[in-house]
Amino acid sequence: MTAAEPAAAPRHTIDAFHRGRFWLVQPADGGHRAGMDAMMLAAAVPTGFAGLLADFGAGAGAAGLAVVSRCEGAKATLVERSPEMAAFAEASLAHPANQHLSDRVTVLRADVTLTGKERGAAGLPDNRFDFIIMNPPFNAGEDRATPNALRREAHVMADGLFEDWVRSAAAVVKPRGGIAIIARPESLAAILEALAGRFGNADIVPVHPRADQPAIRIVVRGFLGARGKLALRPPLILHEATAKGLLPRADAISNGTATLFGD
């Protein structure tokens, strides 16, 4: 076993992100494998961000690492409940190619749905973070039936998930701190309901595979205690009509050279 391998050394891959500016150790066969969703979520954080970020449901750590890769003053806590996926996140931090980032990132094995003193005792005290990002399991059970328990936990939504996760985010983020969520469009009503009375000034970016196709993702961003109105931003289009490669803006977001909200 090398320093870059998870402790149990299950089958894994080591993948480059941001054109090799950081690498991810992630499961080859089960669990959640990071891709464009994580990069879009990370791109919701402003470029000048220099505070402490929490990545709820971090998996192997792609989104949190992408933020500190782009934002030189940022620090991140990768919060993951699954011991198996937390081990992958720890292996990602131990990878030699991530040495330049590892002193600004920590892994916390904790359940973000805990409340009150239990949440604080787990390492998530009130008013600690400046920004929360989350890529929760947002598929309905019938959409992603799988015999793999680790993959099912990473993908399938539990009842009341957005309410539970956003409630915890509102508790642990500082006043005027930010939140960003990536999900499917059909989750928008549940997300807005969870944000109501907590995070305001919400912006929504719909993500379309092609300009003539329906959105497959939404990214929602808001700020604790803000009172601004809901805004629907111009969409992010991933591909040209007849090509598989990413369009220039999507490619820049994927590689950490552009932000989703332009700040």
The CATH number of the domain holding residue 179 is: 3.40.50.150
Q: Give the CA count within 13 Å in the CB-facing half-sphere of 249.
A: 14
Q: 253 near 259, Cβ under 8 Å?
A: yes
What is the per-residue pLDDT across 17-71, written as a single tens digit (0 to 9) for each? 999 999 999 998 766 788 999 999 999 999 999 999 999 999 999 999 999 999 9
Whether 260 maps to a domain, the answer reads: no
The total domain count for the chain is 1
pLDDT value, residue 4: 46
Nearest to 37 by CA among 241, 180, 240, 245: 180
- Greater confidence (5 vs 79) lies with 79
**Rounded distance between C-alpha atoms, residue 225 and residue 222, angstroms:** 9
Residue 113 domain boundaries: 12-254
Whether 3 maps to a domain, the answer reads: no
Q: Would you say residue 5 has pLDDT above 50?
A: no
**Rounded distance between C-alpha atoms, residue 172 and residue 87, angstroms:** 24
Q: Would you say residue 155 has pLDDT above 90?
A: no
3-state secondary structure 159-191: CCHHHHHHHHHHHHEEEEEEEEEEECHHHHHHH
Whether 82 maps to a domain, the answer reads: yes
Whether 261 maps to a domain, the answer reads: no
Percentage of the chain beyond pLDDT 70 is 87
Whether 263 maps to a domain, the answer reads: no
pLDDT value, residue 236: 98
Whether 244 maps to a domain, the answer reads: yes
Q: Would you say residue 206 has pLDDT above 80?
A: yes
- Supply the mean pLDDT for the chain: 90
Whether 2 maps to a domain, the answer reads: no
Whether 245 maps to a domain, the answer reads: yes
Helix (H) / strand (E) containing 221: strand 217-224
**Rounded distance between C-alpha atoms, residue 84 and residue 27, angstroms:** 9
